[in-house]
Amino acid sequence: MHTHILLDHGSGGLASQRLIKDIFVRHLDNALLSSLNDAACLEMSGPVAMSTDTFTVTPLFFPGGDIGSLAVHGTVNDVAMIGAVPRYMSCGFILEEGLELEVLDRIVASMAGAASRAGVQVVTGDTKVVPRGAVDQVFINTTGLGEIRTTNLPQGNRARPGDIVLVNGSMGDHGLTILAQREGLRFQTPVQSDSAAVHNLAHKLIQKIEDVHVLRDPTRGGLATTVKEIAEQSKVSITLDEWNIPVNPGVQEGCSFLGLDPLFLANEGKMICIVPEDKAEQALGIMQADEHGVRARAIGRVSDGHPGQVVLNTAIGGTRLVHMLEGEQLPRIC
Amino acid sequence: MHTHILLDHGSGGLASQRLIKDIFVRHLDNALLSSLNDAACLEMSGPVAMSTDTFTVTPLFFPGGDIGSLAVHGTVNDVAMIGAVPRYMSCGFILEEGLELEVLDRIVASMAGAASRAGVQVVTGDTKVVPRGAVDQVFINTTGLGEIRTTNLPQGNRARPGDIVLVNGSMGDHGLTILAQREGLRFQTPVQSDSAAVHNLAHKLIQKIEDVHVLRDPTRGGLATTVKEIAEQSKVSITLDEWNIPVNPGVQEGCSFLGLDPLFLANEGKMICIVPEDKAEQALGIMQADEHGVRARAIGRVSDGHPGQVVLNTAIGGTRLVHMLEGEQLPRIC
Sign of CA dihedral A235, A239, A240, A242: positive
- Chain A CB contacts of B131 under 8 Å are 331-332
**Amino acid making up residue B150:** T
Chain A residues with CB under 8 Å of B153 CB are 41
B187 and B96 housed in the same domain: no
Q: Is residue B252 part of a domain?
A: yes
Contacting residues for A296 by C-beta, under 8 A, at least 6 apart: A166, A167, A168, A169, A284, A287, A288
CA distance B324 to A40: 23
Q: Which of A50, A124, A260, A333 to mutate to test the interface with B (most CBs of B within 10 A)?
A: A50
Taking alpha carbons only, the member of A312, A290, A328 closest to residue B131 is: A328
Q: Which residues of B touch A326 (CB under 8 A)?
A: 8, 13-15
> Rounded to whole angstroms, how far apart are CA atoms A181 and A178?
5
* A268 lies within 8 A of chain B by CB: no
Burial (0-12, 13-18, 19+ Cβ within 10 Å), B126: buried
The closest CB to that of A52, out of B13, B125, B217, belongs to B125
Whether the bond into A59 is cis, omega within 30 of 0: yes
Query: Which chain B residues are within 8 Å of A131, Cβ to Cβ?
Result: 331-332
CA distance A7 to B19: 33
Domain hosting A317: range is: 164-321
pLDDT of residue A31: 84
A187 and A77 within one domain: no
* Chain centre distance of CA B176: 15
Which among A13, A44, A155 has CB closest to B48? A44
Considering only CB atoms, A52 lies closest to which of B14, B143, B329, namely B143
Question: Given 3-state DSSP classes, what are the helix, strand and coil percentages for chain A, each rounded to the nearest 5?
Answer: 35, 25, 40
B135, A131: Cβ pair inside 8 Å?
no
Distances (CA, A) of A94 to A57, B89, B315: 13, 19, 39
Specify the DSSP class assigned to residue B290: S
**Cβ contacts of A91 on chain B, cutoff 8 Å:** 52
How many Å lie between the alpha carbon of A92 and the closest alpha carbon of chain B? 6
Q: Cα angle at A268 between A267 and A274, to 5 degrees?
A: 70
Q: Do A184 and A286 fall within a single domain?
A: yes
At B12 the pLDDT is 81
Q: Judge whether B327 lies within some domain.
A: no
Q: Indicate the pairing of strand A40-42 with strand B84-96.
A: unpaired
Q: Tell me whether A75 touches chain B (CB under 8 Å).
A: no
Interface check B128 vs A, CB under 8 A: yes
Same-domain check for residues A26 and A91: yes
- Enter the DSSP assignment of A18: H
**What's residue A44's pLDDT?**
87
Name residues 235-264 of chain B within 8 A of A (Cβ). none
Q: Which residues of B touch A212 (CB under 8 A)?
A: none
**Interior CA angle at B239 toward B233 and B243, to 5°?**
135
Q: What angle do CA A140, B143, B34 make, to 5 degrees?
A: 105
Single out the residue of A120, A122, A145, A96 nearest to residue A24, CA to CA.
A122
Backbone angles phi, psi at B40, to 5 degrees: -95, 150
Note whether A138 and A185 are same-domain residues.
Answer: no
B144, B172: one domain:
no
How long a stretch of residues is chain A?
Answer: 334
Chain A contact for B87, CB < 8 A? no
Question: Which of A8, A18, A38, A213 is the best residue to mutate to test the B interface, defined by the most B CB atoms within 10 Å of its own CB?
Answer: A38
Query: Is A312 a member of any domain?
Result: yes
CB pair distance less than 8 Å for B221 and A43: no
β-pair partners for A143: A52, A90
Distance from C-alpha of A334 to C-alpha of B38, rounded to nearest angstrom = 15
Segment 33-62 of chain B within 8 Å of chain A by CB: 35-44, 47-56, 58
CB < 8 Å to B15, chain A: 326-327
Report yes or no on B333 lying in a domain.
no
Is residue A190 included in any domain, yes or no? yes
Instruction: Kindly state whether residues A222 and A117 are assigned to the same domain.
Output: no
Integer Cα distance of A120 and A209 in angstroms: 24
Indicate whether B169 and B307 sit together in one domain. yes
pLDDT at res. B195: 98
**A333 within some domain:** no
Say which of A11, A78, A225 has its CB closest to residue B221: A11
Contact A138, A93 (CB under 8 A): yes
- Give me the torsion for CA of A260, A265, A270, A276, rounded to 10°: 80
Determine, for residues A126 and B44 on separate chains, whether the beta-carbon distance falls below 8 Å: no
Inter-chain residue contact A51 with B40, CB threshold 8 Å:
yes
Partners of residue B14 in chain A, C-beta under 8 Å: 323-326
Q: How many domains does chain B have?
A: 2
Instruction: Please report the pLDDT score of residue A329 as a whole number.
Output: 67
- Which amino acid does the sequence have at B176? L
- CB contacts under 8 A, A 178-207 vs B, are none
Cβ separation B141–A52 shorter than 8 A: yes
Is residue B197 domain-shared with residue B262, that is, in the same domain? yes
B16: chain A residues, CB-CB within 8 Å:
220-221
Q: What is the CA radius of gyration of chain B?
A: 21
Cβ burial, residue A136 (10 Å; 0-12/13-18/19+): middle
Please tell me the distance from the alpha carbon of residue A271 to that of residue A274, in angstroms, as a whole number.
10
- Residue B330 maps to a domain: no
H helical segments located in chain A: 14-19, 26-28, 31-34, 67-81, 101-118, 173-183, 199-209, 222-234, 249-258, 280-288
Rg (CA), chain A: 21
Is the omega angle on the peptide bond into residue A47 within 30 degrees of 0, that is, cis?
no
What does each C-alpha distance from A231 to A29, A74, A240 come to in angstroms?
Answer: 43, 23, 12
Chain B positions in Cβ-Cβ contact with residue A41 (cut-off 8 Å): 47-49, 82, 84, 148, 153
Distances (CA, A) of A10 to A39, A129, A145, A246, B149: 18, 5, 26, 45, 33
ipTM over 0.85: yes
Query: Within this chain, do residues B101 and B140 fall inside the same structural domain, yes or no?
Result: yes
Residue B145: its chain A contacts at CB < 8 A?
Answer: 48, 50, 145
What separation in angstroms does the CA of A91 have from each of A111, A209, B305?
10, 33, 37
The confidence score (pLDDT) of residue A96 equals: 97
The verdict on B183 and B265 lying in the same domain is yes
CB contact under 8 A, A326 and B88: no
Do A131 and A26 sit in the same domain of this protein?
A: yes
Mutation target to probe the A interface, by most A beta carbons within 10 A, among B48, B95, B149, B265 is B48
Render each residue's pLDDT in chain B as its tens digit; 334 residues. 689 999 999 888 888 889 999 999 999 988 888 777 778 999 887 899 999 999 999 999 999 999 999 999 999 999 999 999 999 999 999 999 999 999 999 999 999 999 999 999 999 999 999 999 999 999 999 999 999 988 888 999 999 999 999 999 999 999 999 999 998 888 888 999 999 999 999 999 999 998 999 999 999 999 999 999 999 999 999 999 999 999 999 999 999 988 999 999 999 999 999 999 999 999 999 999 999 999 999 999 999 999 999 999 998 999 999 988 777 667 888 8
Q: Does B59 fall in a domain?
A: yes
| Å between A198 CA and nearest CA of chain B | 14
Which residue from A182, A315, A154, A185 is spatially nearest to B37, judged by alpha carbons? Answer: A154
Q: Quote the pLDDT of residue A327.
A: 73
Query: Residue B96's closest CA among B21, B24, B6?
Result: B6
C-beta of residue B313 within 8 angstroms of C-beta of residue B319 = yes
Q: What is the pLDDT along chain A (334 residues), one digit of tens a residue?
A: 689 999 999 888 888 889 999 999 999 988 888 777 778 899 887 899 999 999 999 999 999 999 999 999 999 999 999 999 999 999 999 999 999 999 999 999 999 999 999 999 999 999 999 999 999 999 999 999 999 988 888 999 999 999 999 999 999 999 999 999 998 888 888 999 999 999 999 999 999 998 999 999 999 999 999 999 999 999 999 999 999 999 999 999 999 988 899 999 999 999 999 999 999 999 999 999 999 999 999 999 999 999 999 999 998 999 999 988 777 667 888 8
Q: Provide the residue type at A73 as one letter.
A: H
In sequence order, the 6+-apart residues with CB closer than 8 A to the CB of A156 are A214, A216, A229, A230, A233, A234, B36, B37
- Provide φ and ψ at A19, rounded to 5°: -60, -45
CATH number at residue A300: 3.90.650.10
Q: What is the CATH number of the domain that holds B119?
A: 3.30.1330.10
CA dist., res. B142 & res. A128, Å (int): 13
